[in-house]
Amino acid sequence: MTEKWNITLRIYRQKTGELPHFDDFAMEVDPNEYVLDAIERVWAFHDRSLCFRHACHHSTCGACGMRINGVEKLTCITVIRDVTHNGATLKVEPLRNFPVVSDLAVDMGVFYRKMEMVGARAVLPVTEAEIEHPPATWQPEDARYIRLSDCLECGLCISACPVAATTIEYLGPAPLAAAQDVGLRRSPELLTIIDSEDGLWRCHSAFECTAVCPSFVDPGRRIMNLRKQAIGLKLTKLFGKPGVPQP
Amino acid sequence: MNNQPSSKKFLAWFNPLGRQPGSWAFILSRITALGLTFYLFLHLVVLGRLAQGPQAYQEFLALAESPIVKLGELAVIAAVIYHGLNGIRIILTSFGIGVAHQQRLFYASVALALAGTVFFGIRLFGG
Amino acid sequence: MTTPSSFKPVSGPRPGETAWLWLIKIITGPLLLVVLALHLIVNHYLGSTSSGLMTYDDVIAYFQNPLIPAIEILFVVVVVTHSLIGLRGILLDMNPSRRVLSIITWLLALLGATSIAYGVWLALVIASKGP
Amino acid sequence: MPKSHVIIIGAGFTGVAIAHDLALRGCDITVIERGDICNGTSGRTHGLLHSGGRYAVKDKESAIECIQENTILRRIVPQVIEPNGGLFIALNESDLSYAEQFIESCQECGIPLDELTPQHALQLEPNINPKLLSAFVVPDGTFDPLRLALAFAATAKHNGARFRTFTEVEGLQIDGQGNVIGVNILDRTSNQRMGIRADVVVNATGAWAGQITSMASLDAPVTPTPGIMVAYDQRLVQRAVNRLNVPGDGDIVLPQRRMVVVGTTSFDAENVDYIPVVEEQTKLMLERGSELIPGIRNAKPRGIYMATRPLISGGSGRSIARTFKCYDHKQTHNIDGLVTITGGKATTLRLMAEKTADVVCAKLGISAPCITQDMPLLSYREYYAIPN
At residue B65, the pLDDT reads: 78
CB-based contacts of D320: which residues, under 8 Å, 6+ apart?
D326, D327, D355, D359
Touching check for B53 and chain A: CB below 8 Å?
no
User: Are the beta carbons of A117 and C1 separated by less than 8 Å?
Assistant: no
Task: Show me where the domains of chain A are located.
Answer: 5-106, 109-238
Q: For residue C14, is pLDDT > 70?
A: no
Name the packing angle between helices A173-182 and A109-117 (round to 10°): 20
What are φ and ψ of residue C28, in 5° steps? -65, -25
What are φ and ψ of residue C48, in 5° steps? -85, -40
Percent with pLDDT over 90 in chain C: 31
Q: Would you say residue B16 lies in a domain?
A: no
C26, C36, C93 ranked by CB distance to B94: nearest: C26
At residue A79, the pLDDT reads: 96
Interface size between B and C, measured as CB pairs under 8 A:
75
Q: Given a contact as 3+ CB pairs under 8 Å, which chains touch B?
A: A, C
CB-based contacts of D196: which residues, under 8 Å, 6+ apart?
D7, D30, D32, D182, D183, D185
Residues on chain D bordering chain C, Cβ-to-Cβ distance under 8 angstroms: 79, 379, 381-382, 385
Is D188 within 8 Å of D170 (Cβ atoms)?
Answer: no
The correct CATH number of D85-142+223-311 out of 3.30.450.20, 3.30.70.1110, 3.40.720.10, 3.30.9.10 is 3.30.9.10
Q: Is the ipTM of this complex over 0.90?
A: no
For residue B80, the enclosing domain spans 22-40+66-126
The fold for domain C25-128 equals 3 helical TM bundles of succinate and fumarate reductases (1.20.1300)
**Residue D115, strand partner residues:** D136
Touching check for B55 and chain A: CB below 8 Å?
no
**How far does the CA of residue C92 sit from the closest CA of chain B (Å)?**
9
The amino acid that residue A18 corresponds to is: E
Is A225 within 8 Å of B96 (Cβ atoms)?
Answer: yes
Q: For residue D191, is pLDDT > 60?
A: yes
Report pLDDT digits (tens) over B11-68. Answer: 676 777 778 888 899 889 999 999 999 999 998 888 877 777 778 777 877 777 788 8
Q: For residue D326, is pLDDT > 90?
A: no
Lowest mean pLDDT among A204-208, B74-78, B96-100, C51-55: C51-55
Is D7 within 8 Å of D183 (Cβ atoms)?
Answer: yes
Question: What CATH class is the domain A5-106?
Answer: alpha beta
User: Are the beta carbons of C2 and D382 separated by less than 8 Å?
Assistant: no
Touch test B–D: 3 Cβ pairs or more under 8 Å? no
Name the stretches of chain A with pLDDT < 70.
1, 131-138, 241-247
Mean pLDDT within C94-118: 90
Size (chain C), residues: 131
Is D297 within 8 Å of D290 (Cβ atoms)?
Answer: yes
C1, C4, C92 ranked by CB distance to A197: nearest: C92
Q: Would you say residue B15 lies in a domain?
A: no
User: Are the beta carbons of B89 and A205 separated by less than 8 Å?
Assistant: yes
Residue C8: pLDDT band with limits 50, 70, 90: very low
Name every chain D residue with its beta carbon within 8 A of the beta carbon of C1. Answer: 79
Task: Show me where the domains of chain C are located.
Answer: 25-128
Instruction: Count how many domains chain B has.
Output: 1
Better-predicted residue by pLDDT, B66 or D291: D291
Residue D320: pLDDT band with limits 50, 70, 90: low
Residue D172: pLDDT band with limits 50, 70, 90: very high
Sign of CA dihedral A72, A73, A79, A80: positive
User: Are the beta carbons of B22 and A208 separated by less than 8 Å?
Assistant: yes
Coil vs helix vs strand at B119: helix
Instruction: Say which DSSP state D234 is in.
Output: S
Q: Provide the CATH number for the domain formed by A109-238 in this structure.
A: 1.10.1060.10
Report pLDDT digits (tens) over D97-107. Answer: 999 999 999 99
**CATH superfamily name and code, D5-42+146-221+314-384:** FAD/NAD(P)-binding domain (3.50.50.60)
Nearest to D356 by CA among D81, D12, D14, D127: D14
Nearest CA in chain A to B22: A206
Residue D270: pLDDT band with limits 50, 70, 90: confident
Nearest CA in chain C to B35: C83
At residue B122, the pLDDT reads: 85
Task: Show me where the domains of chain D are located.
Answer: 5-42+146-221+314-384, 85-142+223-311
Instruction: Say which DSSP state B98 is in.
Output: S
User: Are the beta carbons of B65 and C52 separated by less than 8 Å?
Assistant: no
CA D80 remoteness from chain centre: 14
Measured CA to CA, the distance from residue C44 to residue C62 in angstroms comes to 12
